[in-house]
Structure 1
Amino acid sequence: MGVSLRDVTIREGAQMPGREYGVDARVEAGEALDRLGVDAIQAGFPVVGETDREAIRQLSESVDADVVGLARARMGDVEAALDADADVIEVIVPTSERQLEHVLGESREAALSMAGEALDRARDGGAAAHLTFVDGFRTPTDRLVDAVAAFPSVPTITVADTVGARTPDRVRSIVSDLCERMDGDRLGVHFHDDLGVAVANTLAAVGAGATTADVSVAALGERAGNAALERVVVADAVDGAGDCAAAVDRAELVPACRAALDALGESVDPRTPVLGDAVTTHESGIHTAAMLDDPGTFEPFDPATFGGERRLVFGAGSGRGSARALLSAVGVDPTEARVATLLDRLAERGPLDAAAATALAESTFETPD
């Protein structure tokens, strides 16, 4: 069974403090994500305002992915999503006791009734209707199963770890239990990264039977963010079943994610996994010497597989092994004296990329005829 990846970058990112993504930025980001091949793009919360609605309208005309508008279990929210021409209206309703009491102020029965009416209106208006259980992972499994049973015609029901409170073993147990008691093909998951395990939770949930996963570029989202799209894809490709990685065009991963970030005016720390420049740049002497022969010696994956680029850097941090490898590559006998000379030159001129460092080695010594 394949996995459906739904991108929530735009909607979740816009909920971070100080963010105001305009229509053009959302459309540009959504089109980049569409090139990647995600199944759905959550472009906004239509009831919030015209920016969200217009972005959804434009994206629904320009992308192949389903464009999703979020709606609380309220008629006004659903009408706003219908007005925005959302392909999918995702109705959200709390299921945990805390959220029912302090957010919705309604009983469980009333909440599910409200959700049912909202879903009916979405379908009547011509949209596909999906459902998300807010704070679902802090809801007893028996009650989740009962809630799922109340909506037999909803094709995707997502259980959300709304406050990022769960860890992989617990997630695996809950999802396995749910899949034994409901149709796992309908089960989606949504994780926040408050404990730093949203990616691991997503992979655990998919491994346990969930077939839809919400992801966000560079983990953009409120508080600590969401499961990072690029990390889910790469981790699954490197050490998983490959279902998440198969859901998108791997060669477009890094370019599409960076294009989406650029469109939204977001950046990442150089050490950010997968997307950061530093994570595929190597200068350590031990590393570069070995990687000139076999790049996989000190990399978990080939960056080019995902549209990225490896950089070997030579400078003050380069060791004797790197210098010997550079000299050998240009046909110069790597004597100890020549190695020492080249290391001095690299320290003076570096950091240099592999091509420039090779040229320096060649120009420093006369090569044999």
Structure 2
Amino acid sequence: MPLLASATPTPQNYGELDLDAFQKTPRTTWNIEDFSDRYRATLELNDEQEVFRPGILRVYDRQSGAELIQVSSDELVLAIDDKSGDVKSNVHELPYGEQSVLIYDDFNFDGIKDLALMDGQFSCYHGPSFQVFLGTPDGFRHSDSFTELAQNYCGFFDYDAESRTINVSAKDGCCRHWFSTYEVVNGEPVLKAEREVDYTGVPGISTHTVTWVVDGTKVVSTTQMWEEDDQRQVLLSFRLVPSGKRIMLFRPDKTSPVYYAAVNDKDEVDLLYPEGDAQALEYSSDRHVLSFVRGDTTYRILGDAKGKPLSMEVVIKGKTTPLKLQPGSVQGSLLKVWEAMQETGP
């Protein structure tokens, strides 16, 4: 990695811009002076009144006046402090808030401040992206690994000196999100864990897939979570004793099938049924029993003629285990479930 020190005769150049065309346009140069006692910067931008403008960021050594770094881009932003009238620096709002063209802080936790310079809008959904330069006693050196974290996710990364971790996030539309945590080991980011949150399944229930990296080996676990959902129609709910587990019979909307969910005290869905199009709950109106079969296990909710659930039982290979309902926990009725099943079909 090239060292960008005060003695460097010519600056290292990063980014892409048609410099000849840029030099022919009206432009203004702004000074960025408030981020460091040792360095200063300038932001030269096209004068067109657009959110994203062609421009060049330059970083200088204050003492020698030498230009150390130059980053050019077709899409830089001009953010002015309302009070001082200066270009903002060190603005780092997460996860998708405002981020300034220059961020100066210790990203790799070695006690020397580093530098991130916006090079355009290459991160997710046309978000800001950055070239990252790690501070050294003599200047800066460009970091491919830290720059990758500032390019391939959503905006600039979050960094936590106390835990010595870096956190990044990405998304695919409204319904799939990724969150990754990196540890800084020997000055380099190393993936520690990644979590995917997927909302594309049953509405109101998200799927969390967590991948841990342990001694170079990936360990994966998947959990479904019960989420708050204003559209969900809960037809019947009650708690089991002594576990306190919630049993929920619901449908996401009036056109959806009825689902059974067993939810623990951490809002984790231990069991969700049906799991596919070929599956459906069954209701015996003469015996007042709601049931379904999953593998070699049959689940039954037994009620009275008015639809009030009285007990529950689980049958595994012919062996029946009765389950008790927590007194006073019942809301809704089996009749509501049956009516909804008739409306939406199997």
- Structure with the higher helix share, 1 or 2: 1
> What TM-score does the superposition give when structure 1 sets the normalisation length?
0.25
